[in-house]
Structure 1
Amino acid sequence: MLHTESRAAGNKTDLSYAPVADAPSGGQAYAPSDAAGLPVAISLFADRGYLRSEMQADAQLAGFRVVQSEPVAASEGGTARPLGDIVLVDAPAADAPTLALIERLAERAVRSGARLIVSTTIGALEPVMVSSKAADPVLLVEPGRAERLVAFGETLSGLFERRVRDLSGEDRVAVMRLVERVTVLAQKLDGLVGEEDGAAGAFAFATGVASPGRSFIHEEGGTMRGKPARLPTPQRVRATIRKRQLRARFLDAELFADPAWDILLDLTAARAEGRRVSVTSLCIASGVPPTTALRWIGQMTRQGLLVREEDRVDRRRAFVALSETALDAMARYFEAVGDCDCAGI
């Protein structure tokens, strides 16, 4: 059996994998278990009854022990029961009471060492993200059952913190691409087997401070001082983006999915235009499902390519920008390719 400690400071939960004979009926052949031999506990909170039932079925399919399956209000501290090792909450709306509940639940998750998953809608994404940021949650946007199962695997991997920490930056990018492929495969299989025949799931590992800045000038003007990197004009970057998007009119878009590059291009154009980019807008620009885009944004932020910015006027909004390191790299890339028509494609 494989044993490791949980991620929570002071919480010595021993995780192991139970053999098939000990797995819950209908669960996976190897279920994640705690020191007592019980499946890892999960708490589920959703106001929509049908969704709560679906979440519970998926959690049991993944081999978890459901210790709570209640409306979101039941997550409140006072009389609430202890949280499971993993917490999944559905927050489709961004009204003040819901956001307050999410913020308190995130704080509870941090104190207990639980891993948090928050599912929401594209319209509520930014305020929900801001409210839950204390727990560094896995965020899902209108997820299908396959995406939810993959998220269970991501949060479970967080319980094996040392193993994740040992991954190099290159390994983490490779894992991100593996998660993408697993998600697509699971979604296709989910569509084939249908809602009543079960869902396909897979567990996979998921995965700064900007470096000293340089000065940037646009191609159409400016003086060279200390040979700063030359930032491309927004028209040039937008033309590149349009050419990339044009391919989807003639060929399967999945052949060219490269969210990291699309994110870098969109943020480069925005910087040249002097415009801020919201998380929601960046998810759309990435050309992949919002949940996948959020994974890439998180990974690229951890690698120091992106930085998150707060909206000082509206605290519920979240912006993303290139770090100075990434901006320098993009400017120098466009300088290196010169006038080549294929630049950036």
Structure 2
Amino acid sequence: MAQADFTYDLAADAAGLPLAVSIFADCDMLRGDLEDDVTQAGLTVRERGDLHQLLAGDARALGEIVLVDCPNPDVAAMATLARLDSRAAKSGARLVISTSMDSLDAVFGCCSQSNPQILVNPLRAERVIALGRVLAETPNLRLRELSEDDRLTLLRLTEQVGHIAGRLDKLDSASGGWGQKAGGGAFRFESPSTSYRAENDLVRKPRPPLPDARLVRQIIQQRAARAKFLDADLFADPAWDMLLDLTAARVEHQRVSVTSLCIASGVPPTTALRWIGQMVHAGLFDRVEDDADRRRAFIELSDKGADAMARYFAEVGQDAMAMA
């Protein structure tokens, strides 16, 4: 798919030098595409190489942005990702890591400190969008901090562009592409209400109990049944679907992996990961490390999220919810 030209005149550090990017990927064509996209974004490629160069562990000055493609990381690669994650967290470098669905839990577990963007089987357009998100969130490239509304707006725009890119990719029969072909990033975007931020302004009553997990599972099944008869894109609401899934899991005392939660969201995993990050940032989800295996992590409904869901079910009534 042909890429539109785009430039960022202010893509520079505090000294006015173009931001540098390091690219690590085993696929030659992918490295070339990434280098082209980075250059068009007004950035400088500091180095490009295969994963072996990254795994070698040589002390090197990495760029302010590091792009890594590791679809099937082994134990050594995961250890390297964990070190890279720690290094990026300390230096302020931004990571964009692409992987496969099978390796998502492993990669997610390795990256607990730097808040990287994780892409799952991404289209080229989704990689460009990820690069644009990095630039939008880089302090030296903007005049003010992103507010909560700004973050949601950016998320909406990202997914709307992803929707268009996915549709175009399906129409591009001549493309040999290396990205995800089925599903893409196409869905109708819905955002969660920001009313939960006004929580402290309410007169709080004791929190009611969470609903029976069987009721919540019934609601989830009813929502999923719509896709049998109507276009699922019309009803995509990943934040709500994940809230329901984690609510049931909390009642059942079950742990939910990031892969499982992505599936429960009903949207492509890269999209689900963006929403998970937003929900963690909003304090509705918690990332919990696996005590038995530090390379794994789970997502749980936070106390704040549980309070909101319990009050919601109490407000609307369980009978009404069962009919939803």
TM-score, normalisation: structure 2:
0.81
Cα deviation, residue 183, structure 1 = 1.4
Cα deviation, residue 162, structure 1 = 8.9
Amino acid in structure 1 at the alignment position of 2:78: L
Mapped contact 1:107–1:134 kept (Cα < 8 A): yes
Q: Structure 1 residues 56 and 191, CA, compared in 2 at 3 Å: closer, same or farther?
A: farther
Q: Structure 1 residues 339 and 104, CA, compared in 2 at 3 Å: closer, same or farther?
A: closer
Post-superposition Cα deviations, 1:18-52, rounded to whole Å, max 9, x if no partner, equal xxxxxxxx842545542676643211001233332
- What's the counterpart of residue 281 of structure 1? 260
Mapped contact 2:284–2:301 kept (Cα < 8 A): yes
Mapped contact 1:27–1:60 kept (Cα < 8 A): no
Separation in structure 2 between the aligned mates of residue 108 and residue 55 of structure 1, nearest angstrom: 22
Separation in structure 2 between the aligned mates of residue 332 and residue 48 of structure 1, nearest angstrom: 50
- What's the counterpart of residue 217 of structure 2? 238
Separation in structure 1 between the aligned mates of residue 125 and residue 323 of structure 2, nearest angstrom: 32
Greater relative contact order (CA < 8 Å, ≥ 6 in sequence): 2
Amino acid in structure 2 at the alignment position of 1:97: A
Match of 1:253 among 221, 229, 232: 232
SS in 1 for 2:209: strand
Q: Is 1:133 paired with 2:109?
A: no
Mapped contact 1:263–1:285 kept (Cα < 8 A): yes
Q: Structure 1 residues 343 and 238, CA, compared in 2 at 3 Å: closer, same or farther?
A: same
The percentage of aligned residue pairs carrying the same residue is: 49
Q: Structure 1 residues 333 and 37, CA, compared in 2 at 3 Å: closer, same or farther?
A: closer
Q: Is 1:189 paired with 2:157?
A: no
Amino acid in structure 2 at the alignment position of 1:252: D
Separation in structure 1 between the aligned mates of residue 99 and residue 306 of structure 2, nearest angstrom: 31
SS in 1 for 2:160: helix
Mapped contact 1:31–1:39 kept (Cα < 8 A): no
1:33-44 alignment, distance < 5 Å: 33-34=11-12, 39-44=18-23
Separation in structure 2 between the aligned mates of residue 28 and residue 183 of structure 1, nearest angstrom: 16
Q: Structure 1 residues 109 and 41, CA, compared in 2 at 3 Å: closer, same or farther?
A: same
Separation in structure 1 between the aligned mates of residue 102 and residue 84 of structure 2, nearest angstrom: 21
SS in 1 for 2:112: helix
Cα deviation, residue 164, structure 1 = 8.9
Mapped contact 2:135–2:141 kept (Cα < 8 A): no
Cα deviation, residue 320, structure 1 = 0.8
SS in 1 for 2:113: helix
Cα deviation, residue 101, structure 1 = 1.6
Deviates more, 1:290-299 or 1:47-56: 47-56
Q: Structure 1 residues 196 and 123, CA, compared in 2 at 3 Å: closer, same or farther?
A: closer
Mapped contact 2:55–2:77 kept (Cα < 8 A): no
Separation in structure 2 between the aligned mates of residue 308 and residue 123 of structure 1, nearest angstrom: 20
Separation in structure 2 between the aligned mates of residue 228 and residue 64 of structure 1, nearest angstrom: 51
- What's the counterpart of residue 199 of structure 2? none
Question: Which segments of 5 or more consecutive residues in structure 2 lack a partner in the other structure?
Answer: 180-204
Separation in structure 2 between the aligned mates of residue 110 and residue 325 of structure 1, nearest angstrom: 26
Q: Structure 1 residues 265 and 152, CA, compared in 2 at 3 Å: closer, same or farther?
A: same
Q: Structure 1 residues 82 and 237, CA, compared in 2 at 3 Å: closer, same or farther?
A: same
Separation in structure 1 between the aligned mates of residue 321 and residue 29 of structure 2, nearest angstrom: 49
Separation in structure 2 between the aligned mates of residue 273 and residue 142 of structure 1, nearest angstrom: 32
Separation in structure 2 between the aligned mates of residue 44 and residue 344 of structure 1, nearest angstrom: 51
TM-score, normalisation: structure 1:
0.76
Separation in structure 1 between the aligned mates of residue 176 and residue 42 of structure 2, nearest angstrom: 18
Separation in structure 2 between the aligned mates of residue 126 and residue 183 of structure 1, nearest angstrom: 23
Cα deviation, residue 134, structure 1 = 2.5
Deviates more, 1:299-308 or 1:104-113: 104-113
Cα deviation, residue 250, structure 1 = 1.5
Match of 2:281 among 275, 294, 302: 302
Aligned length: 293
Cα deviation, residue 339, structure 1 = 4.0
Amino acid in structure 2 at the alignment position of 1:60: T
Separation in structure 2 between the aligned mates of residue 260 and residue 183 of structure 1, nearest angstrom: 17
Post-superposition Cα deviations, 1:241-294, rounded to whole Å, max 9, x if no partner, equal 111111111111111111100010000111121211111100110001111111
1:1-345 alignment, distance < 5 Å: 27-34=5-12, 39-75=18-54, 79-160=58-139, 166-193=145-172, 195=175, 228-342=207-321, 345=324
Separation in structure 1 between the aligned mates of residue 93 and residue 137 of structure 2, nearest angstrom: 10
